[in-house]
Amino acid sequence: METISLEDAKRVVAAAEKKAADIGCPMDIAVVDGGGNLKAFVRMDDAFLGSVDIAINKAFTAVAFKMPTEDLAKAAQVGEPIFGINTTNDGRVVIFGGGVPLRRGGDIVGAVGVSTGTVPQDQEVAEAGAAAF
C-alpha cells in the first residue's frame, strides 16, 4: 500500500544526485510519498545542513498543494493572494522553487525536493529527479 516504492524513490534520488554532480553543486535531496511522508533522503557531501529541512519540506509542499513550489512562490509574494502561506502547516510550506510533484498517470503520488544551490539550480536538479520517475 505504497504510493511510491523505495525502488522508485531511489531512482529519483540517483538521477537528482547525478544532475547535481554534473552542474557541480552538491544538494540535499528528498522524496516523499503521496501522503507527504519521507521515503528517501540524501545529503551530498558539502551540501547545506540548513537544507535538510528545506529539501524535505519542498517535497512535502509540492504534494500538499499539488504543484511545483515555484508556482506557489508567485502567489505568495508580498501583496499577492496567499502572502503568508509559508507560516501555515507548522512552517513546513516552502515558497520557492525546488519542489516538484511526481506523477503516475494523472495522479500526484509523491514529490522530490532539492535544496542548497540557487533556486534555478535546485529546480533543475529536482526536474532531473522527477524525469527519472
Nearest to 63 by CA among 38, 39, 36: 36
Amino acid (1-letter code) at residue 128: A
Minimum distance of a second copy from residue 22's CB (angstroms):
16
Contact footprint for a second copy (CB under 8 A): 1-3, 5-6, 9-10, 33-46, 48-54, 57, 61, 63-66, 73, 76-79, 81-91, 93-96, 107-109, 118-119
Q: What angle do CA 97, 56, 101 make, to 5 degrees?
A: 55
Which is closer to a second copy, CB of 34 or CB of 68? 34
Minimum distance of a second copy from residue 87's CB (angstroms):
5
What's the rounded Cα separation, in Å, for the pair 110 and 118?
A: 23
Minimum distance of a second copy from residue 131's CB (angstroms):
21
Which is closer to a second copy, CB of 19 or CB of 43? 43
Cβ partners under 8 Å of residue 28, min gap 6: 41, 42, 43, 44, 47, 48, 51, 52, 54, 55, 114, 115, 116
Which is closer to a second copy, CB of 28 or CB of 128? 28
Minimum distance of a second copy from residue 98's CB (angstroms):
10
